[in-house]
Chains A and B, each alone.
Chain A
Amino acid sequence: MRDKILNSNEFKKLVKSKNAISLFLTVAELFVYFGFILLIAYNKEFLSQKIYGPVTVGIPIGIGVIVISWIFTGIYVSWSNKKYDQKVAEIKEKLGGE
């Protein structure tokens, strides 16, 4: 039973797709946050520019990092709910349930 699951192409694909999306989103999050930090460290002038009245570029970017992080978690959840759970159910069914 276990070997059957492990050796099935579906399971191998499942593991691969999940690892790929986890890794991709992790790298994206690291890129966004450390990019923000490096921008502050090396280009304060850019962030200090005014865009609208007293509002500087830095404000939407800072809030943006918070919002993007949340959107990333949303992408992951919706992918898992739609695609991943369905594949898991399929594998379980194909191999004769529990």
Chain B
Amino acid sequence: MQTVLGQPTLTGIFFFLLFVSISLYITYWAAKRTRTTAEFYAAGRSITGLQNGLALAGDYMSAASFLGIAGLVSLKGYDGLIYAVGWLVGWPIVMFLIAEPLRNLGKYTFADVVAYRLKQRPIRTAAATGALITVLFYLIAQMVGAGSLIKLMFGLPYEVAIIIVGSLMIAYVLFGGMLATTWVQIIKACLLLGGATLLVLLTLYKFGFNYVELFSTVTTQYSEKFVQPGGLITNPLDAISLGIALMFGTAGLPHILMRFYTVPDAKEARKSVFYATGFIGYFYILTFTIGFGAAALVGQEIIKKIDKGGNMAAPLLAEALGGEIFLGFLAAVAFATILAVVAGLTLAGASAVSHDIYVGVIKRGRADEKQEVRAAKIATLCLGLLAIILGIVFKGQNVAFMVGLAFAVAASANFPALLMSIFWRKFTTKGAVWSIYTGLILSVVLIILSPTVWVDILKNSQAIFPLKNPGIVSFFASFAIGILVSLLTQEKEAEAKFESEKIRSYIGFGAE
């Protein structure tokens, strides 16, 4: 099969420029509506449940998950499905435990909720550290992935790709704040869902819209093993540890949590999770089908020849079924996906710096709107530049583990403190601070000692910590330390405020 993948095609460039023009126009439109802090961080709380559902799904459906999961399925079959399922199951947890109280209790960041009854400065310092570390690991993984993917698809040099992505992303956030970031994310989510649906329809058309036909073709072409669980889960403890990180990490990702402040109330917040879960689940089922389609119609040999990890399976299938035009469209969508995801991450990181550290800690809560928006914009610019620099520094490095690490930190540093601050009367400032730092330090240290880094990257022969993801240890340790320290340090004031927190948390009384 001849492919135009890896060289800039006219249609690819056309669709890409079209997306960039539309997104910049949205940014221009949003900039006029972005003056106050509520507008900059939370789009003026003007987003509906359905829109936020799309935006949340967009944050989650990154280029890495689209191309990566389709690739994994095309090479490993059923194991790719097991992997995809793990990414979805955190969403119900977000809904049942976090979304509504978060919306009712906080203003812009999840640190608002943790600090609701507790001492502002230590809590905000710790929570913002957890948020920033999560965002940075996630951002590095996305940037490095972006550079290599764009190089594979358009043949653009790595550094140029990183600088284009970084500059556009800074423009969206800096001028258009959350409003632009959200609408860019919504448009991209629709494009991605639409593109993937079309790709699946074209695939199924070849098989008479019969999945059994598709499965038969793949199993006869390769082996029966293709539709059976393979080597992905051999050590159950490893799988459970990763499962904990994915499940509870989703409920601790700052850029996801921040989106709940963009809707007017808790009711819309809960609706948005329902939509998001539906869209993401649908998307993973599409991706699964695309992987099978690529294995059947493109063939593993070609997929592996273009990229060993299989990342180009979906674009190759698009080219095989829809020619250069469809490939160009899908490549532009993948580019848009990267842009929208890094923009959301940068905004979440910037809000931790400006809202929590600058206003909450340095200014002790005494800063006016103007000062805070300016601080947020400076933080955006710095974080954006840092993302570009880190993207270039980590060129060619194996950064896949950083996503797993981001989830482990989110599950162990951010989630336990957030949950306990909402539901446990006796939770104290010291308990929260200890819980956050325990989760943070344990996840980072254990992943360095794990096979993922110690063996695969540092080339030692044997790992000191046996599991690939530290989730199971860091998650429970963070809870245990948080509970222990809280019980040892009473905080009467915080306990007294629990009742009024409850009214606000459950019926939205006094929510902003």
Query: Could you list which residues of chain A lie within 8 angstroms of chain B, going by C-beta atoms?
Result: 2, 5-6, 11, 14-15, 18, 21-23, 25-26, 29-30, 32-34, 36-38, 40-42, 44, 47-48, 52-56, 58-59, 62-63, 65-67, 69-70, 72-74, 76-77, 80-81, 85, 88, 91-92, 98
Query: What are the 10 closest A-B residue pairs judged by CB atoms, nearest first?
Result: A41-B236, A48-B228, A66-B281, A33-B89, A22-B96, A54-B219, A54-B215, A62-B81, A29-B92, A77-B274
- The reply to whether B240 and A37 contact each other, CB–CB distance below 8 Å, is yes
Instruction: Determine the distance from Cα of A33 to Cα of B228 in the docked complex, in whole angstroms.
Output: 18
Q: How far is the CB of A86 from chain B (nearest CB, A)?
A: 12
Contacts of B211 in A (CB 8 A): 55
Instruction: Determine the distance from Cα of A25 to Cα of B93 in the docked complex, in whole angstroms.
Output: 9
- The reply to whether A58 and B240 contact each other, CB–CB distance below 8 Å, is no
| CB-CB under 8 A for A55 and B228, given A33-B247, A63-B285, A77-B270 | no
| Of B17-25, B58-66, B501-509, the one with at least 4 CB within 8 A of chain A | B501-509
Instruction: Determine the distance from Cα of A37 to Cα of B270 in the docked complex, in whole angstroms.
Output: 27
Q: Would you list which residues of chain B between 218 and 235 have a CB under 8 Å from chain A?
A: 218-219, 224, 227-229, 232-235
- The reply to whether A92 and B88 contact each other, CB–CB distance below 8 Å, is no
Query: A-facing mask of B197-233, CB < 8 A → 1, else 0?
Result: 0000000000000011001101100001001110011
Interface residue tally on B, bucketed by range: 35 or more
- The reply to whether B274 and A73 contact each other, CB–CB distance below 8 Å, is yes
B325: interface (CB < 8 Å): no
| CB-CB under 8 A for A2 and B227, given A37-B233, A73-B95 | no
- The reply to whether B85 and A26 contact each other, CB–CB distance below 8 Å, is no
Q: How far is the CB of A45 from chain B (nearest CB, A)?
A: 9
Query: A-facing mask of B484-512, CB < 8 A → 1, else 0?
Result: 00000000000000011011001111000
- The reply to whether A36 and B229 contact each other, CB–CB distance below 8 Å, is no
Contacts of A40 in B (CB 8 A): 82, 229, 232-233, 239
Quick one: closest B residue to A32, CB to CB? B89
> Which of A26, A42, A81, A92 makes the CB contact (< 8 A) with B93?
A26
Contacts of A53 in B (CB 8 A): 212, 215-216
Quick one: closest B residue to A63, CB to CB? B285
Contacts of A29 in B (CB 8 A): 89, 92-93, 96
Instruction: Determine the distance from Cα of A18 to Cα of B507 in the docked complex, in whole angstroms.
Output: 11
Secondary structure of the A contact surface, majority rule: helix
Q: How far is the CB of A50 from chain B (nearest CB, A)?
A: 8
- The reply to whether A33 and B243 contact each other, CB–CB distance below 8 Å, is yes
B172: interface (CB < 8 Å): no
- The reply to whether B270 and A59 contact each other, CB–CB distance below 8 Å, is no
Q: Mind listing 8 A-B residue pairs with CB under 8 Å?
A: A33-B85, A33-B243, A54-B216, A54-B224, A58-B227, A59-B78, A66-B285, A70-B277
Q: How far is the CB of A37 from chain B (nearest CB, A)?
A: 5
> Which of B212, B224, B239, B267 makes the CB contact (< 8 A) with A80?
B267
- The reply to whether A81 and B267 contact each other, CB–CB distance below 8 Å, is yes
Contacts of B500 in A (CB 8 A): 2
B326: interface (CB < 8 Å): no
Contacts of B506 in A (CB 8 A): 11, 14-15, 18, 88
Add 10 more A-B contacts to A11-B503, A36-B85, A47-B228 (CB < 8 A): A22-B97, A30-B247, A41-B235, A53-B215, A63-B285, A70-B277, A70-B281, A74-B274, A80-B267, A88-B506
> Which of B91, B234, B235, B285 makes the CB contact (< 8 A) with A73?
B91
Contacts of A38 in B (CB 8 A): 236
Q: How far is the CB of B475 from chain A (nearest CB, A)?
A: 13
Q: How far is the CB of A58 from chain B (nearest CB, A)?
A: 6
Q: How far is the CB of B498 from chain A (nearest CB, A)?
A: 10
Contacts of A33 in B (CB 8 A): 85-86, 89, 243, 247
- The reply to whether A5 and B503 contact each other, CB–CB distance below 8 Å, is yes
B41: interface (CB < 8 Å): no
Instruction: Determine the distance from Cα of A98 to Cα of B509 in the docked complex, in whole angstroms.
Output: 8
Instruction: Determine the distance from Cα of A73 to Cα of B285 in the docked complex, in whole angstroms.
Output: 18
B322: interface (CB < 8 Å): no
B273: interface (CB < 8 Å): yes
